[in-house]
Amino acid sequence: MDSALTAMKRRNYVLTPWPWRSLLYLLSTPVAALLAWPLAVPLLPAVMLIMALTGNSTVEIGTAIVVTGLSVAFYAAGAPLLALPLAALERYRLRLIRPEPVRGGHRMPPRTGPWSWLVTRYTEAATWRAVVYGTLLAAAVPVFYLAAFLYAALALTLVVAPLVVSPASPMQLVFVEVTTPAQALPATLIGLLLVTPLPYLCGLTAGLHGLIATALLNEPVSGARLHTELVEVTRSRARLVDGFEAERRRIERDLHDGAQQRLVGLTLQLGLAKLDVPDDSPAAASVARAHEEAKALMAELRDLIAGIHPQVLTDLGLPAALRELADRTALSVTVHSDLGERPAAHLESTAYFVVAEALTNAVRHGHAGQAWVRAYREQGQLIVEVTDDGRGGASPDLGTGLTGLADRAAVTGGRMLLSSPPGGPTVVRVELPWIRASQPEVAS
């Protein structure tokens, strides 16, 4: 992405918004410098002290030392309170000339008392870097910006000189006084030459200012901080998945214990009504159809519950759930399981849905006639392999199903491997770190 400095390398730089963004940044800088001027006040007593020590001042050395000490004390006590909002304003202004956001790097204060915020801010490096930046903004920036302003004012004055000069109002151009527009034409040509680089001068000045501001106000992301953020992202993702799984189980439980039981009762009532109604009665056909519809709905609800979270997985574990899944799949599936003990619930759930998705893909896309499922424990990992004799060619780029399987495995700290050459066979292998069911399920 471009910034005020990198955009200057483009041939059409003048036609891009970057010169105007740089100009807006420069025009807003005097406001920030005006807010920062108290930070430069202690520099004046320091200059007085230096002059007094060198004998170039009428102020006594003792007086200069006292004044300088008081100024430094005021600076140390009050500078952070002024520099912090100023730094926040500067980070906002930097959006004009750089695409990446500037991170403050301030720590979250502990909630141990009313003074915790002040103690935290006064003891962190980010605050004092903001103080240094505010001091530079108040002391040095006006000098450089004044030079740039004088250059721009001179160039524009030379350009418009023929329009404003007259015998009644002559104009002094450097060392020459002009009284007529004709005499000012050479100045206009010089002014046009000086105006041409103004967009680049704006970009260069704003870009260099932005580099200094970024160096002092941006908190670089260290390796330790990246690791901490990555761990937190991993844990939050695991918490989201755990919450999602808990919600799935709750929905499955509600459907199994509520809607399914009521539907079973309704099916029985229709069955009894079918027996009570004579076969030659006009209502017999309607009751029979309602009974068949209830049984079909019962089967669909049972499949829906199994798709949400099969009860057999909770009650009997992964091997039993895989065998039940194989019986419900529209192809011949051979299941081999050798786990020895039950893994953690979230591992069982991940492994089950990986197998379910792989078998669905084998039927729907691979047109397989047979599949083999293996679930075993090896070297501290739960390994699940699904092999089918379909036509192969499976790829995560062709749909979100395989990508979702890889994401499921990644949440638990595992990975998914895929082999599916054209013509088959297709092998989906998932490796998950083993956690026993008795261990607490924590994300690392």
**Which pLDDT score is estimated for 103?**
76
Contact between 392 and 361 under an 8 Å Cβ cutoff? The reply is no
Residue 181 has pLDDT above 70, yes or no: yes
Residue 106 has pLDDT above 50, yes or no: yes
Residue 52 has pLDDT above 70, yes or no: no
Average pLDDT over residues 429-439: 80
How does 15-45 read in b/e, with b if 16+ C-beta sit within 10 Å?
eeebbebbbbbbeebeebbebbeebbebeeb
More confident residue, 52 or 289: 289
Over residues 191-243, the pLDDT tens digits come to 888 888 888 988 888 888 888 888 888 876 555 555 565 566 656 666 666 66
Query: pLDDT class for 45, splitting at 50, 70, 90?
Result: low
Over residues 77-99, the pLDDT tens digits come to 677 888 888 888 888 888 888 87
* Distance between CA atoms of residues 358 and 401, nearest Å: 9
Q: What is the mean pLDDT of the chain?
A: 78
**Which pLDDT score is estimated for 243?**
61
**Which pLDDT score is estimated for 374?**
92
More confident residue, 75 or 179: 179
Contact between 432 and 347 under an 8 Å Cβ cutoff? The reply is yes
**Which pLDDT score is estimated for 444?**
37
Residue 439 has pLDDT above 50, yes or no: no
Average pLDDT over residues 132-155: 84
Over residues 294-327, the pLDDT tens digits come to 777 777 666 666 656 677 777 888 899 889 888 8
Contacts of residue 392, defined as CB under 8 A and 6 or more positions apart, other chains included, come to 366, 420, 421, 422, 423, 424, 425, 426
Q: Any idea which of 105-109, 233-237, 367-371 has the lowest mean pLDDT?
A: 233-237
More confident residue, 225 or 76: 76
Residues in the chain: 444
- pTM (2 d.p.): 0.47
Query: pLDDT class for 49, splitting at 50, 70, 90?
Result: low
**Which pLDDT score is estimated for 98?**
84
Q: 3-class SS at 410?
A: helix
